[in-house]
Amino acid sequence: MSLLQDRATALTRKFQSLSDWEARYKLLIEWGRELPAFPEELRTEENKVRGCQSQVWLHASLDEEGRMWLRADSDALIVKGLIATLLQVYSGVTPGDILQFPPEFLKTLGFEGHLSPSRANGLHAMLKQIRHYAVAFDYLWKSKKTH
């Protein structure tokens, strides 16, 4: 099992161990509050995620070993928790691994039926942005290795 699958499974188990959606929303908010502080200099238009009703900033970087690191923030508590959920799974792995890992765990978490349409669209926009970063960094990493 891949690191991404292990992370998604652990997150899903923790989430599903809670009895109701009120407790799950509280956990999301807690995860959002645990996000590291997002630097002011990264709150730029180019780091804003399009398609989110709330303001969401997402920044990605690639380290020397080819792992992609994500940082994010939002002005809305639930949305901040949603982005924290994505970062728990996707940050610190290679872009290629991200691109090969289908985000089925989001369906298992049950967000589809429990988020407002605008929040669900925002979640998909955040995931899409992570995958865009992964495509770009995967290309950069592969071209760096061939030169």
E strands in the chain: 56-62, 68-74
Closest CA to 132 of 109, 104, 110, 99: 99
Instruction: Report whether 87 contacts 72 (CB < 8 A).
Output: yes
**Residue with token string 């760096």:** 144
DSSP assignment, residue 25?
A: H
Q: Please name every residue paired with 70 in a beta bridge, in sequence order, or none if there are none.
A: 60
Q: Would you name the residues annotated as active-site residues?
A: 52
Q: Are strands 56-62 and 68-74 parallel, antiparallel or unpaired?
A: antiparallel
What are the Cα distances from residue 51, in Å, to 27, 48, 63, 107?
Answer: 24, 9, 28, 20
